[in-house]
Structures are given as C-alpha cells and as structure tokens.
Chain A
C-alpha cells in the first residue's frame, strides 16, 4: 500500500534553515508528481510546492517562493523540501502528498503522509 513518511521537522529559529524528507514506498515513485502541503496550528490546508515525476518542473506558492526548494531523489524514492529564511508564519505541520499523475496540466492529490511539525520560534 502507498506509504509516505515525513521526517526532519523540529524547532528552528527565525532566519535559519531546515530540510524535510519524505520517504515513499508501495508505489512507483518515478511515475508520480509530488507535493508539499502545510497546515498551521488550528488552520486549514495550504499548498506549498509541486515537482513533476522527473524533478524537472517545480512550482511554488507565492508565500514560499525564493525561500523554499522542492526536490526529489528518484534513486532513493525520497522527496525533499529545503526551507531557508524561515519565518514564524511558516510554523505548521508539513505534509508530503502524492499526485495521481506524473505531472502536467492538472493536479489530483490522492495520498498523504502523516506530517511533520515545523516550529519557527526564537
């Protein structure tokens, strides 16, 4: 069955960096685009970033553009999110999510990981 396991969350000071990982299993990782979606405490879902199956196309929410970088290592079935210049408003649970498609013109999120909490605080 599809499994997505995030790691790398923690407490970090404003302005510092953190890298999240998402280990995928139970499906052919190289056939799917992958997303990061976040949820601030007590709030709704916010899409963060998307990478195509081959990692060649990447898209970002305006709120993280220029600070966050999504990447993937298809040899390790792992998705990453490099978060730089972190702000208090980046505090959230970060979910890794699979797209039904390899990438392209529409977005269809199907499976989610359990999430990892990032807290940005001095």
Chain B
C-alpha cells in the first residue's frame, strides 16, 4: 500500500502570510498515462471535505487563486499565498494512482496565529 506522509502536523499562520504543506508518497504517483493522481482537500471545522486541487496542480472551480499545488513523483506541496481567516481547517492529500486502497495523508491543521 502507498503511504502518504504530510508535514507539518499543524501550522499557525499570521493573516496575510503564506503557508506551505508538504505531502510525500512512499512510491511515485505517476500513472502510465503520464498523469499524477494527487488531490488536495480542505476540511473546515464541522464540514465535510472539499476538493481544492486535482492532478497535482489543477485548481477546482471556485477555489481562490491564492491556493496552488505543485510537485512531481513522490513530493508534493500545497501553498496558500496569503492566508485568510476562512482558510482555517485541516488539509489532506490523497493519491488515486495505486489502489486499492487509495490513501490519504494524515492531515495538516491550519490555524491563525
């Protein structure tokens, strides 16, 4: 099974400052079609998860452009260019290349300093 490791576990950020979350996989997530099936989800307090980014760097409709995804192979990053109050929550990466099972990272909690 592919293990997804996120860091840090939590992040305390000043409003307007950047934030960066790392996600590493135990094996390459590049599929034979050349795509990399790495997804980022945001889970605000008391809510269900919401997809932000798919295939490493594609932002979903309605997602603010302060969110960006990057990376390749086994190392991926979610960046928030300027953190806003509504960004508080837990962020998860998920891989869908090698399954079953598809696997999630353990989550990174973002809070405001």
How would you classify the secondary structure of chain B's contact residues: helix, strand, loop or mixed? loop
A113 touches B48 (CB 8 A): yes
Q: A55: shortest Cβ distance to chain B, in Å? A: 16
The listed residue with most B CB atoms (<10 A of its CB), out of A50, A95, A105, A111, is A105
A-B contact pairs, 10 of them (CB 8 A): A45-B92, A46-B104, A47-B104, A50-B99, A61-B101, A100-B54, A106-B97, A107-B96, A110-B54, A112-B48
Q: Which residues of B contact A (CB under 8 A)?
A: 31, 35, 37, 39, 41, 48-51, 54-55, 60, 90, 92, 94, 96-97, 99-107
Known pairs A100-B54, A110-B60. 8 more at Cβ < 8 A? A45-B92, A46-B104, A59-B99, A60-B100, A61-B100, A110-B51, A111-B51, A115-B48
Q: Which residues of A contact B (CB under 8 A)?
A: 44-47, 50, 59-62, 95, 100, 105-115
